[in-house]
Structure 1
Amino acid sequence: MHHANHYYGHSHVLARYCGLDDADPPRIQGYLQHGWNIGDGMAPDHEYVPGVAKFVWSERVRRRAWSLGRREVYVTGAPWAYLVAMTPDPGARREGTIWYPFHGWEGQHIVGDHDSLIAEIRDTETGPVTVCLYWQEFRDKRVRALYERAGFRVISHGYRGGWWKDLDPGFLYRQLAEQRRHSRVASNRLSSAIMYGTLAGCEPAVYGDPMQLEGEKSAFGGQARIVREWPEMHGKQLDLSHARALATAELGADRLLPPAELRRLFQWPSLREDPDFELTGVLTR
């Protein structure tokens, strides 16, 4: 299995949905999109073997991949959408905002002014604020202290994993639980976290200095294209019905496959039960 298929516990969530062992998911025979993507669904820094199946979240991404010459591309929906479908909202009272500053990754760090971002958050949000940092920034005591001194609750959802190490099957579960505690989700860039929070029932917002990655390259048009193509998803107060429709489409939440079909695409083992088996409590289409 390509190591990126394990990011954020994606393979574990999908194995559970398919009725298989989510502690030791089978090998996915192909490449699974692992983040909201304005390109062909695949990370531009990874190498891919021609002819191997690619599993993307949405029809929009599938069409773009096809236009770029990618073949063997299938829409499966995002693992997050399956998790939301499998996890009924407890209906607890929501309060405040969960805020996701744009983050770096293991190969690139963030360059930006956290102080000005903190000031804008304090001027905008009226309820309690939870700031969720990527593990890299969370481990940086200087960065973490900036948000803590501002009076924010500061957390991290954990490690995404990489190269079959530091795997964290509970990552998305913690993220969903945290988002369902909050009434708003916000970030300084339109991102997976915004799409996830919107699908999980939060009101989204995108504002503040978008910051930069060290040596950031504008793949597929980069941040400028995101602002240009999705202007209605930028601002401190967004049209909620439009945002939810967009998140549903971008995450393929309206395209979820039955467990038997997903197992067939991934070349996972069939269950002994009826081939039309549906996992109890799971929404299937």
Structure 2
Amino acid sequence: MHHANHYYGHSHVLARYCGLDPAEVHRIRGYLQHGWNIGDGMAPDHEFTPGIPLFVWSDQVRRRAWSLGRRPVHVIGAPWAYLLAMDPIPAAAPREGTIYYPFHGWEGQHIVGDHGRLIEEIRATEDGPVTVCLYWQEYRSARLRRRYERAGFRVVCHGYRGGWYKDLDPRFLQRQLAEQRRHRRVASNRLCSAIFYGILAGCEPAVYGDPMRLEGERSSFGGQSRIERQWASLHGVHPDPVRARAVAVAELGADRLLSPAELRRLFHWPAPHPEGAAR
């Protein structure tokens, strides 16, 4: 089905959970939500065939999808939550500093904003070492990378998300998890998937700084202003971590994970080989 099901190695993580070979591409019969959003869970630029199932992360997204006439819709939880279920946080793992995710563009839209201003805000706020994680599109700009490096930040990229069954990266989320577990805090200038991921991975969250914008950005489903209103408790330099975790669990559907057998049935995947897949 849709190539976006394999973004960030999502289908590979779910295949591993289901006992299948995570190195192979297992096609999902339906559309899988591939990032946190405030709409029906699907990317607005994708065309969808009516009647094909949607697999969304949370019940909030399911309700919004139903209100838009989407059918059928299944709540399964985010692939990130399945990854953490398979790879729990090590006891007493040392953490230091902040991993910061500047709002990023994508292949169809670039970012409009002042990175210099954002750098100054980060330097004025964080009291420990900072790792800046850039999306591949920004990371390939040596000029932009140097701006963050000259500010004293370590600069990384988790990898390429893949697309149209090319450049797929089964271990994208594993690298992201390893980086986040090195840090005490996770921060961004917009509430995004990475913030919710970091919270679930044990980081203290923060959302601050110039939110920037996409070229030609449209305020679908209420846009940035709605996000700042509805999820106000997650914005700021030091949001309440207990409240933040409760919100992250709900938004990622971490309390709604299905069994391997249930996922295989929904995705039309086969039972694992008797010898099992390497986990």
Tell me the TM-score range normalised by the shorter chain.
Answer: over 0.9
Q: For the Cα contact (< 8 Å) 2:21–2:278, is it kept in 1?
A: no
Q: Within 5 Å, which residues of 2 pair with 1:192-211? A: 192-211=193-212
Q: Helix, strand or coil: the match of 2:176?
A: helix
Match of 1:248 in 2: 249
1:9 alignment partner AA = G
1:267 alignment partner AA = H
Match of 2:224 in 1: 223
Match of 1:8 in 2: 8
Change (3 A) 1:232 1:50: same
Q: Helix, strand or coil: the match of 2:13?
A: helix
Match of 1:155 in 2: 156
The reply to whether residue 55 of structure 1 matches residue 55 of structure 2 is yes
CA displacement 1:136-179 (0-9 Å, x = unmatched): 10001111111000000000000000111111111100000000
CA distance in 1, matches of 2:242, 2:143: 38
Match of 1:262 in 2: 263
What count of residue pairs does the alignment treat as equivalent? 277
Q: For the Cα contact (< 8 Å) 2:20–2:273, is it kept in 1?
A: no
Q: Helix, strand or coil: the match of 1:186?
A: strand
CA distance in 2, matches of 1:198, 1:180: 10
Change (3 A) 1:272 1:147: closer
Please report how far the alpha carbon of residue 280 of structure 1 lies from its aligned counterpart in structure 2 after TM superposition. Answer: 11
Q: Helix, strand or coil: the match of 2:210?
A: coil
CA distance in 2, matches of 1:145, 1:44: 33
Please report how far the alpha carbon of residue 88 of structure 1 lies from its aligned counterpart in structure 2 after TM superposition. Answer: 2.2
Identity rate of aligned residues, in percent?
A: 75
2:185 alignment partner AA = R
The reply to whether residue 237 of structure 1 matches residue 238 of structure 2 is yes
CA distance in 2, matches of 1:20, 1:121: 42
Match of 1:134 in 2: 135
In structure 1, runs of 5+ residues without a counterpart are none
CA distance in 2, matches of 1:228, 1:26: 39
CA distance in 1, matches of 2:112, 2:44: 21
2:109 alignment partner AA = Q
The reply to whether residue 83 of structure 1 matches residue 96 of structure 2 is no
Change (3 A) 1:148 1:272: closer
Greater mean deviation of Cα atoms: 84-93 or 191-200: 84-93
Q: Helix, strand or coil: the match of 1:185?
A: strand
CA distance in 1, matches of 2:10, 2:213: 27
Q: For the Cα contact (< 8 Å) 2:131–2:156, is it kept in 1?
A: yes
2:198 alignment partner AA = G
Q: Helix, strand or coil: the match of 2:186?
A: strand
Match of 1:96 in 2: 97
CA distance in 2, matches of 1:26, 1:229: 36
Please report how far the alpha carbon of residue 26 of structure 1 lies from its aligned counterpart in structure 2 after TM superposition. Answer: 2.1
Match of 2:41 in 1: 41
CA distance in 2, matches of 1:190, 1:123: 20
CA distance in 2, matches of 1:173, 1:155: 14
In structure 2, runs of 5+ residues without a counterpart are none
Give the TM-score taking structure 1 as reference length: 0.95
CA displacement 1:224-243 (0-9 Å, x = unmatched): 11001111111000000000
CA distance in 2, matches of 1:272, 1:164: 24
2:136 alignment partner AA = W
CA distance in 1, matches of 2:88, 2:31: 28
CA distance in 2, matches of 1:73, 1:280: 31
2:97 alignment partner AA = G
CA displacement 1:110-148 (0-9 Å, x = unmatched): 010011110010010001000000001000111111100
1:76 alignment partner AA = I
1:138 alignment partner AA = Y
CA distance in 1, matches of 2:140, 2:182: 24
Match of 2:169 in 1: 168
Change (3 A) 1:154 1:184: same
Greater mean deviation of Cα atoms: 73-82 or 89-98: 89-98
